[in-house]
A and B are shown apart, each in its own frame.
Chain A
Amino acid sequence: MYAYDKFDRSLVDIRVAEFRDQVERRVKGDLTEEEFRPIRLMNGLYLQLHAYMLRVAVPYGTMSGDQMRRLAHIARKYDKGYGHFTTRQNIQFNWPKLSETPDILAELADVEMHAIQTSGNCIRNVTSDQFAGATADEIADPRPYAELLRQWSSFHPEFSFLPRKFKFAITGADQDRAAVKWHDIGLIVRKNDAGEIGFEVIVGGGMGRTPVIGKTIREFLPEKDFLSYQEAILRVYNEQGRRDNKYKARIKILVEAMGAEEFARQVEVEWEKIKDSHIDVPQEEVARIQAFFQPPELANQDATSAVTSEFAKKNFIFASWLQNNTNAHKVQGYVNITISLKPHGGIPGDASAEQMDLVAALSDEYSQSEIRVSHEQNLILPHVALKDLPAIWADLDEAGLGTANVGLLTDMIVCPGLDYCALANARSIPIAQAITKRFDDMKRLQDIGPIKVKMSGCINACGHHHAGHIGILGVDRKGQEMYQLLLGGSGAEDATKAAILGPGFDEHGIVDALEKVVAVYLGVREDGEEFLSTYRRIGAQVFKEAVYDAA
């Protein structure tokens, strides 16, 4: 993975000193609260319902065992012993003190981490495929390009005060695990007929109160022009994006208003002026960064492991875990493990300091000290030998991390909701807990099969409900928390917007409604047909009748 050189190190160190100075100036009254707000946000510090919240960047979801151990240490020393992994592959600490945040940032800088631009109206942490560099279905590892974006966008003099936040996602695989079409800019690594690397550029996707699926404005952007083209997009957006209404300020609104073709035309005009002007880095720099992401050297292994197969025969949960929580690696005899942070009855995405330490230790022993965070709020150990799985699972299971539900109904994306968030209208966590208790039977979950349930506690859609096969949206109805049910969304390469099924439910009714939807699916599915395919085949009406007629 990427390692800082003296330049990167100096920048984060100076940034910590700068923020320390800014906090002092705020305390002395030299900076107004209004001025301090964007400053603290661009350093990851939010003011939540009960306290400050610090969001630490895990660039493109990749970190080392040492970095994870440092996060555990921060959770213990400065927080209440846990952290929350987010849909932007970041981690949030919910209880830091303002006066201690410069110290936390210094502790992070010490292990080459930061909280730069994890919030604010600027370019945020770039997200990517959690299996990047370790998956069989990949054209190229997207992370070197994500790192180029990270550097180019950090403290950009022109683009640090945009109309609104700005999110990039990049994938190098056919299967889109990074929801690129739901981002301000989504990038897919492509190869042209000459075998050269380039990018499909998608703009104007986004969730929130106006869900929009991004549109392709360039089929193939050559690698050498990577950054100058992004700069052209950002300039058009910075100048013309709306600043009079924060709900209409995202690039998706501009692209919709202008039309994708006109937007693309303006970007091309802009790009023509700047494309050969040193905004792009020299080829040696691309090569330097790529060298950090070379595949690890893995010992030869057999394609199957008797130890693992035997254990799976004896243990149903392990067999399910093997099926659901591991996926194919590029190299024979290896897999990537997804560690579920969705224990039934627990808080989705949370991990305790002890669990973080365990994952770090396991990464040292089994996965080249490498750990990933997925936008689905789970942790990944890449490059793991098949034969090591029983031992790893036993350790995970003992620590409450052995849940075998990855990709199944209880592996939900869930925002923090009204338990933490100042924007939320309704609680998300208790609903998630009620759902996991209702669907606690692994055999039943396994029978239902792959299904993505995503829940947000308000229309800002941090829980990606628009992209859920089943989405749940918390709303406020005259002081009562209500929940709307949406069906048919997708965050993958076949991205679609979920549609609201009908009137909302109270916190008990929503769980019943979900169960009825699942029952309809189980009744009508064809052999091997997954939930989303069934929904697309039969449409909303059958579900609607089952959910509302019986009520």
Chain B
Amino acid sequence: MITQNAKIAIVDDEVHIRALLEQTLEDLEGEPEILTASNGAEGLALIESERPQLVFLDVMMPLMNGYDVCAAVRKNPELAATTIVMLTAKGQESDRVHGLEVGVNYFMTKPFDPDEILDLARKILQVP
């Protein structure tokens, strides 16, 4: 798969998480385009219009939570190739079952391990 113009979306209402994730992802080869949204509804609109290959999705957000965003993405066959990584806070691990039900591919616990995020992104986008 050629991912020359890889797009990654970060959907999280916390500005520092967006900033830190963005900065982490800047280390990726091939300079993927990084898009951000600060709530669920905005995030879904962004995913639908920009079709990112990879989405980092927070759980608790205003307007629309991460599960609902994920469920909506999974209902749209045109977005089938979207890999969704859910960012859960420590202690929310028990909600993973729900996450799996609505079609989450991976889970990461906040505070996230930057190297784990990079390893995962490299694997999904198939960049070195």
- Is B truly associated with A? no
B residues sitting closer than 8 Å to A (CB atoms) are: none
A residues sitting closer than 8 Å to B (CB atoms) are: none
